[in-house]
A and B are shown apart, each in its own frame.
Chain A
């Protein structure tokens, strides 16, 4: 889901993830060959239940596996890596939340 924020009482099915566009870093290799490092933030939520830590770790594991399953993103990037994972540390109870900072590297002509 491409959203900038979660609506607190939205009608969602859990687990859910929002993908937020963050920043783009551009390095010119040639005038028409630009190495782009695009940072996106994946915000993943689940219902915490009685074992928030277990649920959260499971959620982190699922998202990590998903991102790492195809680092070329269908041949559109040459690398995708998670550079940071933050959690809500319990503040989002009865939900739990993990925030993944992901850097996607690709070549662009413009």
Chain B
């Protein structure tokens, strides 16, 4: 594998999230999207930001690498409306859980944590994500 693995994994994660019917928009970006430029019809909107890549162990020829990335879902909801946020969490968990190899581009993709933050009426559901994959050191 080459360094393009990272992009391939992110692309596949983007595709997996795009397949969730309750998600309207998926954006891969290097930073937070300017959410106030989007219309409410674009939400729930998922933003995927690559965070960090690190080797977990190395031998002379192979290494297991881990990329971490942040998946943020912007959701509109009323003050007392917890169902819409909880359903999004469930849908994303299910989609990741059903395809942890991201179409065979990594060994496993895990959700390290889920945080819900924001102010009425815009909530952000932030998934801290990790994908592990093998990469030949010679190609690194």
Question: Considering only CB atoms and an 8 Å cut-off, how many residues of chain B contact the other chain?
Answer: 13
Q: Are A33 and B37 in contact (CB under 8 A)?
A: no
Contacts of B76 in A (CB 8 A): 30, 33
CB within 8 Å for A30 and B79 given contacts A78-B120, A107-B121: no
Q: Are A30 and B40 in contact (CB under 8 A)?
A: yes
6 pairs across A/B with beta carbons < 8 Å? A29-B121, A30-B76, A31-B36, A32-B40, A35-B121, A107-B121
Cβ-defined partner of B122 (8 Å) among A29, A31, A32, A78: A29
Q: Are B36 and A30 in contact (CB under 8 A)?
A: yes
Question: Considering only CB atoms and an 8 Å cut-off, how many residues of chain A contact the other chain?
Answer: 9
A residues sitting closer than 8 Å to B (CB atoms) are 28-33, 35, 78, 107
A109 to B122, CA, bound (A): 14
Q: Are B43 and A78 in contact (CB under 8 A)?
A: no
Q: Which of B32-61 contact A (CB under 8 A)?
A: 35-40, 42-43
Contacts of A29 in B (CB 8 A): 35-36, 121-122
Q: Produce 1/0 per residue, B63-84, CB < 8 A to A.
A: 0000000000000100100000
Q: Are B120 and A31 in contact (CB under 8 A)?
A: no
Q: 10 nearest interchain CB pairs?
A: A28-B36, A32-B39, A29-B122, A33-B40, A30-B40, A31-B39, A32-B40, A30-B38, A31-B37, A30-B36
A28 to B36, CA, bound (A): 6
Query: Which residue from chain A places its CB closest to the CB of B118 in the assembled complex?
Result: A29
Contacts of B121 in A (CB 8 A): 29, 33, 35, 107
Q: Which of B102-132 contact A (CB under 8 A)?
A: 120-122
A31 to B42, CA, bound (A): 11
